[in-house]
Structure 1
């Protein structure tokens, strides 16, 4: 039995600048943090002498790899020649809620399959391979921030270059600064799930067709560059960056926000939060809020209609947590 554990991520600023429609012409940048919310995948030898059993939100019993309905599993199993396995998937939060769960699944599955084959692959390489699977082979209209944010662990500054490569740098924070971030960042589940692919496809078209969207993304890239230093100088700078980034993100397409999100966000600001954003491509899912100083309890009370999730930093990235 082998078990992989891969963290989900929250992005602070720069989201959208990793989309190919933008990075083909301009360098993108995102500052993100992996958190202690995980995708768990397990695998061991299948009892039957042919085929697999796959248990995720569905149950499959394909006799060959080509019969697998789950596109990511089918591609990874095909590429790594995985067969006769009993595979299980579970996660701390639902898919489609804005924390990169699909890419965390891909990264974790690659890590699991390589470990099953007795091979070690670095976290950065897992992220690169996950991008290849999702974007190049499966044609998903997504960027590369989720794969790296979930694979690496920690707080990272990610750059997306016009040649398709990605560079990454850990943001240096003291133990006290990390504690402050964990205390002042709050996650509220507003409900619902959505297809990130559909929303990102719209945003990609807007990048191509509307120069104002491109200019907005360039400003968001500059935010990511500045926040890298300003976060290390004073964690409370994060709230202001989140607020400005959220206003810019809403300008990318009409589907990013809605009335439910806006009401919740206004309540948070009125209670003392200095900023926040809806995670992921938009529409539904988790609202991330920054509540500095003694405003934490007031913000929690103001958003008591929504399920609260505390934020804890993950520093391990995608890991094999059990092998026997």
Structure 2
């Protein structure tokens, strides 16, 4: 599910046409593409032949908090480079290219769900096939069910950032040697199929599905959960939430809970030391806001 939190990217001709001015969490002024420190910028600018630009990035949410900001950045950057060069590529192509850049070229041990979610927008059922192809099917929700889903979901920022790579690396190693990990992953696949069939008619099923999914996920690697996360989760459930999970690879970031039928206020009170964030669906995905 793509939510209405964004990475904002802009780019225009640099005053010095043979160099780069790059502004993100740090500022780079370099002459050659190969000198760019930011790995994704260096790779994409090299692939697309982007030269002599002034680039700026900002975001609603900090990196490393489990909301897919890295993939949102990559997908958005590809879209931006196309617009800068007066080209167009469909959203599914942007997603596939973002996966290629992050996973194949940069060697990140991540999945493909973030790239496709950010590119396509909305609520999707995404299948990853053994031949590396990906199929996406939009999950239709009535206006009433969409509002109920959004009103029931709330995120709490528990603090901290982390690199997904370390957690996912351990998870992969566990998968190779631990049959229970493989069994849990297969069960989570079955969960996704069942949820796809049920959620269009009964939004409230998402609570128990989130709860079971989190219980399975935290057994995949040792670094996924910790006492702070477990305490916040327990208090949310005791206050009326019907399910939840830590977003992203684990160990830090946002706790998502589903608290329907007025339970949201009591859950927010129970977790009053953490800032709550509304969850609203973004139906569009990556988009060009302005092009001169």
Q: Which residue of 1 aligns with 2:148?
A: 180
How far residue 62 of structure 1 moved from its aligned partner, in angstroms, is: 1.2
Q: Which residue of 1 aligns with 2:83?
A: 115
> Which residues of 2 match residues 242-321 of structure 1 at below 5 A?
242-321=210-289
Q: Which residue of 2 aligns with 1:23?
A: none
Q: Which residue of 2 aligns with 1:53?
A: 21
Q: Tell me, what secondary structure is at the counterpart of 1:321? A: coil
**Which structure carries more relative contact order (alpha carbon 8 Å, separation 6+)?**
1
How far residue 208 of structure 1 moved from its aligned partner, in angstroms, is: 1.1
Q: Which has the higher strand share?
A: 1
| TM-score normalised per structure 1 | 0.89
Structure 1 residues 149-185: Cα deviation after superposition (integer angstroms, max 9, x where no partner): 1111000000000111111000010011110011000
Q: Tell me, what secondary structure is at the counterpart of 2:249? A: coil
1:128 partnered with 2:70: no
1:41 partnered with 2:9: yes
Q: Which residue of 1 aligns with 2:200?
A: 232
Structure 1 residues 126-147: Cα deviation after superposition (integer angstroms, max 9, x where no partner): 0000000011111111111110
How far residue 49 of structure 1 moved from its aligned partner, in angstroms, is: 2.5
- d(CA) in 2 for partners of 1:146 and 1:197? 14
Q: Which residue of 2 aligns with 1:221?
A: 189
Unaligned runs of 5+ in 1: 1-32
How far residue 266 of structure 1 moved from its aligned partner, in angstroms, is: 0.5
Q: How many residues align?
A: 292
1:192 partnered with 2:139: no
| TM-score normalised per structure 2 | 0.99
Unaligned runs of 5+ in 2: none
How far residue 296 of structure 1 moved from its aligned partner, in angstroms, is: 1.3
How far residue 259 of structure 1 moved from its aligned partner, in angstroms, is: 0.6
2:57 corresponds to which of 67, 89, 100: 89
- d(CA) in 1 for partners of 2:175 and 2:136? 24
Structure 1 residues 299-321: Cα deviation after superposition (integer angstroms, max 9, x where no partner): 11111110111011100100001
Structure 1 residues 186-226: Cα deviation after superposition (integer angstroms, max 9, x where no partner): 00000000000111111111111111111110000000000
- d(CA) in 1 for partners of 2:14 and 2:179? 53
- d(CA) in 2 for partners of 1:115 and 1:239? 40
Regions of 4+ moved over 6 Å: none
> Which residues of 2 match residues 59-78 of structure 1 at below 5 A?
59-78=27-46
- d(CA) in 1 for partners of 2:153 and 2:70? 23
- d(CA) in 1 for partners of 2:228 and 2:90? 41
Q: Which residue of 1 aligns with 2:291?
A: 323
